[in-house]
Amino acid sequence: LTASSPACMSSIVDFLAAPEMFSQWLDDPVAFVRNGGSPGLATIEPDNPIWVKFARAMVPFVAPTAQGLAQQVGQWPTPPRRVLDIAAGHGVFGIVAVDWRAVLEVAKENAAAAGVSQRYRTLAGSAFDVDWGTGFDLVLLTNFLHHFDTATCVKLLAKVRGSLAPGGRALAVEFVPNDDRVSPPFAAAFALVMLAGTPHGDAYTEREYAQMGRDAGFAKVSATPLPPSPQSLVVFE
């Protein structure tokens, strides 16, 4: 909580406790429970300014996850050379970034601070509409798939698969509950966040991600924890 410390995480309250976030969860919970999701587009509305808040506030929370992901990728026999980061947000994970234009301005600031701005490229717009090209060794889907229903996730994963170079992989960072959907507590509780904040999003199990991957044409899907984060790394090969 000490602002002068490089490990300070106090900024995350600017997103997690933002009035617009509390409003969607607490103003009328009966409405989203009865509806089976948010009555409107909520957080997945195009150019929603909440994602600029996310990009500026959540770097301390996601940095350990990004480091864990980097360690996993660093163990691959052949390091990826071309990396696409979908819904890049703060830009901490990737090099070629896709997101809303205002959010990408924050990502470019972070890329400059990290000294990689010369290698950093941005593509503004919806991940479902932008032509991001092909030949990627690694495509990152960090904290994104949970915003959508299964059919939409399969559609996006199929697009991702078509953009991979031979031997390329896609990595998702997600809250993955067990099959009982009540454990572990953090991942299971995240389903409520998606119920309130998206029309059809959810916290999906490893089994559900595996089925999405197969339906999108991937041969193998696996999930492994990313401690100390409560999230998991889902690998699509």
Is the pLDDT reported for residue 228 higher than 90? no
Distance (Å, whole) CA 38 – CA 20: 13
At 3 the pLDDT is 83
Rg (CA), the chain: 17
State the sign of the Cα–Cα–Cα–Cα dihedral 168, 172, 178, 180.
Answer: negative
Tokens found for residue 233: 């790394």
pLDDT of residue 5: 86
Report pLDDT digits (tens) over 74-116: 999 999 999 999 999 988 888 789 999 999 999 999 999 889 8
State the average pLDDT for the chain.
Answer: 94
Tens digits of residue pLDDT in 174-211: 999 999 999 999 999 999 999 999 999 999 999 999 99
pLDDT, position 107? 92
Q: For residues 145 and 156, what is the distance between their CA atoms, to the nearest angstrom? A: 9
pTM (2 decimals)? 0.94
Neighbours of 133 (CB within 10 A): 11
E-only strand ranges, 92-163: 96-99, 121-124, 136-142
Angle at 221 between CA 216 and CA 222, to 5 degrees: 155
State the pLDDT at residue 42.
Answer: 92
State the average pLDDT over residues 36-43.
Answer: 92
234, pLDDT greater than 90: yes
The strands making up 164-174's β-sheet, listed across from edge to edge, are 121-124, 96-99, 83-86, 136-142, 164-174, 232-236, 221-225
The amino acid that residue 226 corresponds to is L
pLDDT single digits (tens) 6-34: 789 999 999 999 999 999 999 999 999 99
